[in-house]
Amino acid sequence: MIRFIKTNYFAALAIFFLLVLGSCKSISQTESNNIISSKLKWSDRMALTIMKRHPESYMIDDAKAPHWDYVHGLVLTSFEELYKKRGNSKYYDYIKSYADVLIDKDGNIATYNIEKYNIDMIVAGNILFNLYATTKDNRYLVAMQTLKKQLEEQPRTASGGFWHKQIYPNQMWLDGLYMGEPFYAHYTTAFEKGKNLDDVAKQFELIQLHATDKKTGLLYHGWDESKKMPWANPETGTSPNFWSRSIGWYVMALVDALDYFPKDHPKQKELVRYLNNAANSLVKFQDKSGLWYQVTDKGGKEGNYLEASGSSMFAYAFAKGANKGYLPAKFKAAANKAFDGLTNQLIKVDTDGGITITQACAVAGLGGKPYRDGSYEYYVNERKKDNDPKATGPFILAALELNR
């Protein structure tokens, strides 16, 4: 009898250990497979996909070596919002690793050249505010001061608008509003008691005044105050077409810069009005799919396509605008419709659970070499890139605002 009990005891113990080992093996296999769960929120799924494809944050956009760039600033800003919501340290560490590989002990930013006066280079500074607040590491403050110095010295149009770059004299592009104004507004609020908020608002005022089409209410990609560029309308100075991503940069700039304008600031209501004007114009061109076309107002024209980055940016700006009370509630519904379009039509799920957003325009601009004329044919023929950071960053931001 005793022998029977012992035999059964050891058999049970053996089975127990086999089950434990099997369980460990299963967990180990899951970890080694590193599958991204479909049960996670879309924001986490995209962030984890980015981290898996780019283990070091400087590798975003397939970069081979660290460089200070606006796409990193955009994506890591979305990670910062994700970190605020989730409190997951891996998101914070991913952000910090980018700053730490590029900013030395004295606060110098590697690969950054202030003398180019490229306003695109300002936006990555947005991640430094929280890093400085949490670490009190002075090199982050020095780096922010350097970027602010660029804004102080940035060449301006005769009417006071920041040039997009030193090599693009007298030109303001919609892109530049996102690249410069949220950082400028945050900096002047954090360190200057808001003394330059009027100058922040002035940048929006100039674009709203000079780049808005009276017929559609949409904004043209660029405005040349000198009217000398071949792409510029000789009467208005505007570029010839509406590019969805450029308008996306503009509306994102508005909702983000407004974070730093007190409600009683004289310019706050003005900026809210600009946001409403743009949103009301954009929603008229929203496709039945929920998405927007690459060239915003020419949905049925040959070669045009439903584009991911502009659609993600509009979804984010509409959702945040509605959540903050800047926009009517109907824009939250429009944002959800856009997000449905993105997830139903433009998202592919990879074998490892990672997600890929398709049909994102890789890049577009005006002038330069080779020359970019701003024509319809130019915009629809620029190359596309899957999981382009100009789509993934706003996609995460939209998912967070919509709690999707």
> What sign does the CA torsion over 191, 258, 361, 226 have?
negative
Query: Can the peptide bond before residue 370 be classed as cis, meaning omega within 30 degrees of 0?
Result: yes
Distance CA 346, CA 327 (A): 26
Classified as helix, coil or strand, 152 is: helix
Furthest-apart CA pair in the chain: how many Å?
105
Distance CA 172, CA 243 (A): 15
Exposure of 290 in the CB half-sphere (CA atoms within 13 A)? 21
Distance CA 379, CA 394 (A): 20
CB 142 within 8 A of CB 107: yes
- What residues act catalytically? 175
| Tokens matching residue 236 | 């208005």
Distance CA 171, CA 177 (A): 12
Give the orientation angle of helix 268-283 with respect to helix 308-324, to 10 degrees. 130
| Tokens matching residue 192 | 């200057």
Distance CA 396, CA 387 (A): 12
Distance CA 260, CA 186 (A): 6
Measuring CA to CA, how many Å separate 322 from each of 24, 251, 301?
47, 13, 31
